[in-house]
Amino acid sequence: MTRWPRRWRDISQPVDASVACWPGDTPFSVEWVAHLDRGAPVTVSKITSSPHNGTHADAPNHFLQGAPGIGEVDPAAYLGPCRVVERIGTGPLRPEEVRRWRVKRGDRLLARTRRRVDPRRFPKRFAHLTGASARVLAEAGAVLFGIDTPSVDFVTSRTMEAHRVLLSGGIAILENLDLTGVRTGRYVLVAPPLRLRGLDASPVRALLGR
């Protein structure tokens, strides 16, 4: 029987109106429909937000025509043993760097590329995969790739090749992780997306256990 971790670390970004949004996407906002402070018997809120704000899982249909939405994906990919790997820097993650991680079939990999994550600031430059490095992960049989940046592709990419290669290869994607202070090594990941039927992404509460 697998031992359940005793300690858990939250590696998801907190989300409120100050969280940085992908340029041109819908920012997070909240409206209080009812509130105890206003004499109502309950507090009820309404939120407006892109599902890509904060830490989130991308769905296959985000880039692949006719592919499943996030509510239809198998949540098993987001649960189980994982490895945190590290390559600090804003440049692209090259295939030779990914090969050094010695990816094996069934691996879940979380890439730490920043020493500190500030959810309030959208980075002008950030680490990302190239199409060739994404293919290294797909050919090795990885089941999940997560990164502490807003995207697995560069912000100005027109083809979004890394997304397409990963999703076509059946690799789940987590973006906007907060791996500040997390050491490389083996952990247990719990980060299932919400069952949002047909949507292109879902917020997640990502936890690392050890």
Catalytic positions, written as ranges: 62
Q: Are the CB atoms for 149 and 127 separated by under 8 Å? A: yes
Task: Determine how β-strand 144-147 pairs with β-strand 172-175.
Answer: parallel
User: What are the beta bridge partners of residue 29?
Assistant: 48
Rounded Cα distance, 79 and 64, in Å: 23
Site of tokens 């945190």: 84
Other CB atoms within 10 Å distance of the CB of residue 45: 10
- Cα–Cα distance for residue pair 157/155, rounded to 1 Å: 6
